[in-house]
Structure 1
Amino acid sequence: MKILVTGFDPFGGEKINPAWEAVKKLPDTIKGAEIVKEEIPTVYGKSADVCKKAIQKHQPDVVLNIGQAGGRFTITPERIAINLDDARIPDNENNQPIDQTIQTDGQAAYFTQLPVKAMVENVKNNGFPAAVSNSAGTFVCNHIMYQVQYMIDKEFPNMKGGFIHVPFIAEQVVNKPNQPFMQISDIAFCIEKTIEAIVNFGDKDDLKAVGGETH
C-alpha cells in the first residue's frame, strides 16, 4: 500500500502550520505502507492542482490530507466534505470565494472512504484525544478534501481519500490565551496511529462505535 500524506503551508498570519510540520516527522513506512509526503499551498484551486500532480506521479492507494484547526482540542478525522467554498479569511493568494460551488458536476457532498472511527479509536487507545468530525469547514481544508473526493469520483475510482484536522502547537498559542494545543511530536504520533488503522482495516468496514454528536 502507498499512502500520500499532505500538509498545508502556514496561513492566516501564522509562521508555522502544524499540519506540514507533523507530516514531515512521519516515518517513511508505517505497518508496511509506503508514506509519501507532500506540502500543498493554502490556496483554493492550486492546492488541488498540486495534490493531483502528486497523485499522478506517485499513484497512491490512499490520499490523506492534514490541516490545522485552531481551537480544536482533539485529532479529528473528517467524515464528509461539502461542495462549497465560503472563505471567512483570504487564502494565501488573497482569494476569498463566497458561497461558490467547488465542482458544478460534483455531488453535493462526499463521504470519506477511510475508517474514521477506527482511526479515532486507535489514537485514543494510544493515550491521546480524538473524535470524528462532521464538518471540515468551508475554507481550503474542506476544499481539498472535496477536490480529492471529486478526483476519486471522476478519475481515480480505486483510490481512497480522507482528511484530518489537528490542533495548534504550543508556539502558536503564546499570545492566544485559553487556546488548546498539542506538541508537534504528539500530533505526528497521532497521525501515525490513524494511518495504522487505515492499513489494518484495508477494505474492511469501519468500526460500529459510538461517535456521533448531538449538535
Structure 2
Amino acid sequence: MDQKKTVIVTGFEPFGEHAVNASWVAVQELKKLGLGKDINLHVAEVPVEYQAVQTLLPSLWKQHLPQLVVHVGVSGMATTVTLEECGHNHGYLRVDNCSFCPESRCCIEGGADCIHSVIDMDAVCRRVNSSGLGVTVSVSKDAGRYLCDYTYYTSLYLSKGRSAFVHVPPLGKPYSAKELARALRAVVLEMLELMEHNDGRKYCLHDQ
C-alpha cells in the first residue's frame, strides 16, 4: 500500500501586467526539485478565471486526495515570499481573464466571511527564516480580493482548512525562479511537519 503523502501545488496562468507568471514558473521549478521520496507532488496551472477555479479545485481534491494543497500566486507588491493566513469570502469586484466577475461578489454564498488555514503560518515563517535559505519569508492576512484570495478561500472551504497560499514576487525582484522554488520547497515541508504534529487543532470559521 502507498504510504506516501500527496501534496498538490498550483500556480497561475499569466494575467494583466504579468505576461510571465512567476508563480507558475516557480512551481514548475519546484516540480523538478521534488519534495523527497516520501511525498507525491502534483502540480497544476490554475486559470485566472473565477468559474474555472470552482470546477478545478474540487476535481483536484477528488482525484488526488491530498494531505495538503498549496496555491502559489504572484504579487507585484511583494518583495518577500509571503504566507497568507486566511481567505476572504466577499469583495470580489475585479473582472478575470474572461472579463467575468461573480454577481454575488463572493466565493461561497452563505460561507463564513473568513477561513483560516489550520497551519500556523507564523511558525512556518520563523522556521524557514532561521534555516539560512537566503530567501525572506513573511506573513500576511490579506490575499488581495482577486483570484488568489478567491482560490484560497474556495480551497480552505473544500479542505476544512488544509490548504495554504503563498505569494511570490515577480521574477528577479529580487529572486530567481530557482530561489523561489527552493523557498517553496522549504515552506511546504515545514507545513507538512507542522500538520503532522497538529492534527488536533481546529480550524477557525470566524462567524460560525
TM-score range, shorter chain: 0.7 to 0.9
CA contact (8 A) 2:68 2:192 kept: no
CA contact (8 A) 2:92 2:106 kept: no
Structure-2 change in CA distance of 1:31 and 1:123 (3 Å): farther
Question: Which residue of 167, 170, 192 corresponds with 2:169?
Answer: 167
Bigger drift between 130-139 and 40-49 goes to: 40-49
Distance across 1 between alignment mates of 2:54 and 2:96:
14
Q: Which amino acid aligns with 2:76?
A: G
Question: Which residue of 189, 203, 206 corresponds with 1:196?
Answer: 189
Question: Which residue of 109, 128, 132 corresponds with 2:139?
Answer: 132
Structure-2 change in CA distance of 1:29 and 1:72 (3 Å): closer
| Equivalent position SS for 1:37 | strand
In structure 1, what is the equivalent of residue 202 of structure 2? none
Question: Which residue of 181, 185, 191 corresponds with 2:178?
Answer: 185
TM superposition outliers: structure 1 runs of 4+ over 6 Å:
none
CA contact (8 A) 2:11 2:45 kept: yes
| Equivalent position SS for 2:42 | strand
Distance across 2 between alignment mates of 1:31 and 1:67:
26
Partner deviation per Cα, 1:164-188 (whole Å, 9 max, x = no partner): 1000113xxxxxxxxx432111111
Is 1:38 equivalent to 2:31 in the alignment? no
Q: What stretches of structure 1 of length at least 5 have no aligned partner?
A: 154-158, 171-179, 206-215
Distance across 2 between alignment mates of 1:105 and 1:203:
31
Q: Which amino acid aligns with 1:192?
A: R
In structure 2, what is the equivalent of residue 117 of structure 1? 122
| Equivalent position SS for 1:19 | helix
| Equivalent position SS for 1:203 | helix
What TM-score do you get using the length of structure 2 for normalisation? Answer: 0.84
Distance across 2 between alignment mates of 1:38 and 1:4:
8
| Equivalent position SS for 1:182 | coil
Is 1:143 equivalent to 2:150 in the alignment? yes
| Equivalent position SS for 2:190 | helix
Aligned-CA RMSD value: 2.1
Q: What stretches of structure 2 of length at least 5 have no aligned partner?
A: 199-208
Q: Which amino acid aligns with 1:165?
A: H
Question: Which residue of 1, 5, 15 corresponds with 2:9?
Answer: 5
| Equivalent position SS for 2:196 | coil
Question: Which residue of 48, 55, 61 corresponds with 2:61?
Answer: 55
| Equivalent position SS for 2:106 | coil
Is 1:71 equivalent to 2:73 in the alignment? no
| Equivalent position SS for 2:140 | coil
What TM-score do you get using the length of structure 1 for normalisation? Answer: 0.81
Note the C-alpha offset of 1:94: 1.0
| Equivalent position SS for 2:20 | coil
Is 1:25 equivalent to 2:29 in the alignment? yes
Note the C-alpha offset of 1:40: 0.9
In structure 1, what is the equivalent of residue 205 of structure 2? none
CA contact (8 A) 2:84 2:141 kept: yes
Instruction: Using the aligned pairs only, state the percent identity.
Output: 24
| Equivalent position SS for 2:41 | strand
Q: Which amino acid aligns with 1:11?
A: F
In structure 1, what is the equivalent of residue 20 of structure 2? 16
Structure-2 change in CA distance of 1:9 and 1:34 (3 Å): same
Distance across 1 between alignment mates of 2:88 and 2:123:
22
| Equivalent position SS for 1:132 | strand
